[in-house]
Amino acid sequence: MVYPASMLSECAMSKPQAPSLDRRQLITAGAGAAALAAGARAEARTAQAAAQPVKLSTPCVVSTWDFGVAANAAAWAVLAKGGAALDAVEAGARVPEADLKNHSVGRAGYPDRDGHVTLDASIMDQKGDCGAVAGLEHIAHPISVARRVMERTPHVLLVGDGALQFALEQGFPREELLTPESRKAWKAWLKEKKYKPVANSEVRTYDRDLGMPGGKKNHDTLGMLALDARADLSGACTTSGMAWKMRGRVGDSPIIGAGLYVDNDVGAATSTGVGEEVIRNVGSFLVVELMRQGRSPRDACREAVQRILRRNVTRDPDFQVGFLAVNKAGEAGAWAVQKGFSYACCDATSQTRILQSESFS
């Protein structure tokens, strides 16, 4: 993995002896220097352009990954009519949850190593109210169950059998979530039982047959943030978690402050990637607090990723974490550990915009 120069110590260099040059060499050297200078100026302009905030009109919605475009469309149908950000993010998150081509979210998600599809989700509104479920089986729309937890219980997080019991009591239908394709991939994985998260698998696994022996795919997240016409913020996060995870494993998505955080005075943030890394740093809360201190969404996400990289913990060197944020002014930004993280933006100007996040490699 390549880290930025700012994170590396400067190397001491001895001063070289200046060689003697004839006129032709001087001309050639001068041309080369001019080309290098021009290249440096071009790089500086590119960096400056990249540093400019992504400014969206209000209302707006942003979400992680390319498949966020379809989720944004459902959220935009709410926002464009003057609807609330909370209703928008729930509607948006339900789209990938129902998408049978999406193996990182919802009913088509790949199972744990024992063959159980377990879903996690969280939701948070402009008032700071929030709800979440983790390890939920047999319910296709965990984001809607999370909202019921927020609105109809005194609690924030329900897990496992208790979350399922609550969902059934609330009228959600019990369903078999392990699809034939997911079962095939799981059976293939059982032949070698290798477990290694793969960066950017949200893109690599979408609508692909991954039922090969030793397939190693890390399944992840749809994170969504919306700003409505009243300038209220809400967010949602939903996932089926890492494929072939240990039974009972829960990542950052249902953890308020890790996978999702909203502060209506400042902004909102969500995360994607290896959840353990995000939890260790309370990542989304950190991004929002950095925005409170005056950072742009982009710079706040960048610093949060830097914090993760500075932690001297045992991890796979190929891991990925990305953060996505939006502030009260409708500025959006993102940053990731490595290339490949994309996010979708939607406002009155464009409903299908996909941007590549900046990264440290």
Residue 270 appears among annotated catalytic residues: no
Other beta carbons within 10 angstroms of residue 291's beta carbon come to 25
Which one of 118, 205, 221, 238 is the catalytic residue? Answer: 221
String of b and e for 91-114 (b: at least 16 CB within 10 Å)?
bbbbbbbebeebbbbbbbbbbbbe
Active-site positions read 221
